[in-house]
Amino acid sequence: MTTENESSKTADLGYARVDLDRRRRCGFPEVIFGQGKTPEEVLGIGRVIVEREGLLLVSRAREEQFELFQREFSDAVWHARARCITVERRPWAKLDGEVAVVCAGTTDLLVAEEARVTLELFGNRVLRISDVGVAGIHRLLAVRDRIEACNVAVVVAGMEGALPSAVAGLVSKPVIAVPTSVGYGANFGGLAALLGMLNSCGSGVTVVNIDNGFGAAYAASTINRMLHEARAGRVSG
C-alpha cells in the first residue's frame, strides 16, 4: 500500500520514498538506479513512476528485474547492452538539437549505449560516432564538423581517456567526458581515464563518474532542452 504525503510530493513505499516532485523541480522525473535492488522493489517503484509520469528509466538493471517487470508492463523494453529498462507511454516531445555520443573504442560501446538510451528517452536526437581514439587522429578530424553541428558532445573513452581533450580542442560546444573501466593493469578500473579527463588540457571539459553514461546523458539533455526552449522563446533567464 502506498501512502502519498507531504502535499503529494513523495510516495512512501517503506523501502523507498519516491520523489514525485522531481520533474517540477529538476525538469526530469525520477530514474531508478537498479543496482542492489530486488526485482520486487524495482517493480514497486516503477509502478508509481509509470503511473505518474508515463515514462520510466531503470539504469544498471539486471535481466531478472526486467523479467518481473514485463509481466506487469508488457510494453517495457530491455536494452541488453545498455542494461536499461524503459517504458514510454507518454513520450517526450523531440527536441530540435542533436547530441553527439562519441566513443574512443569499440569496447566503450556499453557505456555509450547507456547514454544513448537515456538521451533518446528524454527526447534528444543522438549522433553516434564510434572508434575515433587519438591513436588515429585522422579519424576524429574527419568527423569534427558533424560533432560541431551538435549542441553537446558526450565523449566516452577508456584506457588513457585522451579523447575529450582532443574533441574539446576542435569544437566550441560543451564536452561531457565519461571515463570507462575498459583497460587492464594500471588502468585500475577506469581510474586512469578518470584522472586523465579531470586533468584535461582541453578547456571546459567536465567529467562524470566512471561508466556513468546515464549521468552524462542527463547533463547533456538538460543543456539541449534549455537550448530548445531558448530558441522557442520560452526562457527568460
> Which 65-94 residues touch a second copy, going by CB under 8 A?
none
Stretch of residues binding a second copy (CB under 8 A), selected from 46-54, 67-75, 84-92, 221-229: 221-229
- What are 34-43's contacts with CB under 8 Å, separation 24+? 34/58, 34/59, 34/60, 34/61, 34/62, 34/65, 34/83, 34/85, 35/60, 37/65, 39/64, 39/65, 39/67, 39/68, 39/69, 40/68, 41/15, 41/16, 42/68, 42/69, 42/85, 43/68, 43/69, 43/72
Site string for a second copy, 144-163 (x = CB under 8 A): -----xxx-------xxxx-
Is 213 a binding residue for a second copy by CB under 8 A? The answer is: no
Is 109 a binding residue for a second copy by CB under 8 A? The answer is: yes
Is 169 a binding residue for a second copy by CB under 8 A? The answer is: yes
Please say whether the beta carbons of 17 and 10 come within 8 A. Answer: yes
Q: Please pick, from the candidates 10, 65, 86, 124, the single residue that binds a second copy as defined by CB under 8 A.
A: 10
Is 202 a binding residue for a second copy by CB under 8 A? The answer is: yes
Is 191 a binding residue for a second copy by CB under 8 A? The answer is: yes
Looking only at residues 28 through 47 of this chain, which bind a second copy when binding is defined by CB under 8 A? Answer: 28, 31, 33, 35-37, 41, 45
Q: Please pick, from the candidates 8, 80, 146, 230, the single residue that binds a second copy as defined by CB under 8 A.
A: 230
- What is residue 95's DSSP assignment? P
Gap between the Cα atoms of 224 and 155, Å rounded = 16
Is 196 a binding residue for a second copy by CB under 8 A? The answer is: yes
Gap between the Cα atoms of 56 and 2, Å rounded = 18
**Smaller CB separation from a second copy, 25 or 74:** 25
Cell of 223: 543543456
Stretch of residues binding a second copy (CB under 8 A), selected from 46-54, 71-79, 85-93, 224-232: 224-232
Stretch of residues binding a second copy (CB under 8 A), selected from 61-69, 70-78, 86-94, 186-194: 186-194
Gap between the Cα atoms of 164 and 92, Å rounded = 29
Q: Which residues fall within 8 angstroms of residue 226, CB to CB, at 6 or more apart?
A: 235
Stretch of residues binding a second copy (CB under 8 A), selected from 47-55, 64-72, 82-90, 99-107: 99-107
Is 22 a binding residue for a second copy by CB under 8 A? The answer is: yes
Stretch of residues binding a second copy (CB under 8 A), selected from 48-56, 61-69, 70-78, 184-192: 184-192
